[in-house]
A and B are shown apart, each in its own frame.
Chain A
């Protein structure tokens, strides 16, 4: 069983990849980009995050451009999971591909900033430590589970291609 525990940073609906990672930083490497993560919506965010913290979003989290550095930068900034009411589709794919579990809970709006979450990634159960309230995340199909288990699409491909030759 994989569990994640962390403090919540809460964001609203339709958080765009342009505010997660503004275009002007796309030229840099991921550590550099991570220093500016969420700068468009909460300047200084990267300095506030403690490793293991959890990000909670509203509807359509990660809308906008296909930049994969958006989930990568959130990951590199120390965030251990993203829980949202719904995800923009490319962002959702990108999370899986970089081995970052996207937890889609329609009830995530009730989670508050500063609360602590206990997440069981196998069952998709998200528990608020302070209140004991639980939220059930959408279960992912086996085809996607296999990619996440491998740690992302790249290690998955390595296994598959390696297995073939």
Chain B
């Protein structure tokens, strides 16, 4: 029997000819990433105690994204520690306030197809969009990797996620993945790797595809992966990286299951407050009155997300009583939005542009929610208190849905404002 793409990558990194689901093995990591929150401040003391240096300063990427800009002295201290670590160990790929770690790993082509990539954050699997095996771990795991370049893992079963036909106008990758999560439940992909394919995936650009791999975290998956096709190859070529298409799963690989979806049947959806698998059509949200609309995070504030929001907001104003905040996922995204008028459109509609970084998404940055606030957000999670007060509520939706809700003052089907058939 052949191997799935994930199995091939794990076997190669583990120095084996073959691996099978549930094998536990030690693997060599090709590239690792850690950020200000889970990074040096957590593992540096232990690293010192181990009395070793770091495995390879050129294979470790460090991003300060959670505590930027420092909102208080404690945050500023965390950022200082991060910089001191970078200085001490001579890390060349360090980015502070330049973007969210997962967005930068892709944008800067720090991962390549076929690589074994480990990041110190649950959304590290975003990078699987470029055909690498990407997993997220906690800070002691990261200590082990930083010190030795190795980590242990259990080979996950692979589920093929086959998306036929194309998404309709006004419907996005976010609606697709939320629909899948609503269908499978938040532990529907537990310990699995989800390999995406089909016409709808071929038709999406890298930024849209990355919403799918990003939110594999919300279905319990260990990883999400999109095998490198011509779109991946040109995306990487634009960034000076020349690679062929592939690697791919073997035809006779052992997939555990196939989940088939019809993209044409997907409609704009939202996840109701406190549970990201409580997914309903946006049109069925009822009287969900808002105080806040948030466009941010590695999930929903890349250039394309900002452009989608601008499509809805052009010539319109945010409803009174609603604060629309936009925290671009990277400086490059913001720059592009400034160059072609997208940023202008957002601001003309009344948006408040926040600094590039995680912002209010994890409830530790600027722009968090107060008690009683109701927000609709392009982020990935809405557990109680995630974005601030435990007495606030967060709906999740696509950039179209968030922008449309900001204008209407309540959650609506964004196609009402996009002049496309619902």
Contact = CB atoms under 8 A, between A and B. Distances in A.
Given A23-B362, A66-B122, A97-B138, A18 B50 contact: no
The bracket for how many chain B residues form the interface is: 35 or more
Interface string A92-118: 011001100000000000000000000
A68 B388 CA distance: 20
Contact of A93 (B37, B74, B137): B137
Name which of B138, B144, B187 has the most chain A CB atoms within 10 A of its CB. Answer: B138
Contacts of A41: 384
Contact of A27 (B24, B75, B191, B388): B75
A125 B65 CA distance: 43
B363 A19 contact: no
A26 B51 CA distance: 27
B415 interface: no
Contacts of A13: 187
B363 A23 contact: yes
Contacts of B390: 22, 39-40
B136 interface: yes
B68 to A, nearest CB: 14
A66 to B, nearest CB: 4
A94 B25 contact: no
Interface string B60-81: 0000000000000011001000
A93 B364 contact: no
B86 interface: no
B169 interface: no
Contacts of B220: 60, 63, 88-89
Interface stretch (A1-9, A74-82, A129-137, A149-157): A149-157
A40 B384 contact: yes
Given A154-B140, A157-B147, A158-B50, A66 B385 contact: no
Contacts of A88: 187, 190, 220
Nearest to A18: B383
A97 B191 contact: no
Interface string A56-79: 000110011111100000000000
Interface in B368-382: 368, 381
B357 interface: no
Given A22-B363, A23-B363, A64 B26 contact: no
B29 interface: no
A60 B185 CA distance: 11
Contact of A64 (B38, B139, B190, B381): B381
A161 interface: yes
A51 B50 CA distance: 30
Contacts of A152: 140
Contacts of A158: 49-50
Interface string B269-280: 000000100000
Contacts of B363: 18, 22-24
Given A22-B390, A144-B152, A157 B144 contact: yes
Contacts of B37: 26, 67
Contacts of B75: 27
Contact of B24 (A16, A89, A144, A154): A144
Contacts of B143: 153-154, 157
A66 B314 CA distance: 38
A67 B38 contact: yes
A66 B381 contact: no
A18 B26 CA distance: 30
| The 6 A-B residue pairs with the shortest CB-CB distance in the complex, in nearest-first order | A68-B138, A60-B187, A23-B363, A97-B140, A16-B383, A18-B383
15 contacts: A24-B363, A26-B37, A26-B364, A27-B74, A40-B390, A59-B187, A63-B187, A88-B187, A90-B122, A93-B138, A94-B140, A94-B141, A97-B138, A143-B26, A157-B144
Interface of A: 13-14, 16, 18-19, 22-24, 26-27, 39-41, 59-60, 63-68, 86, 88-90, 93-94, 97-98, 141, 143-144, 147, 152-154, 157-158, 161
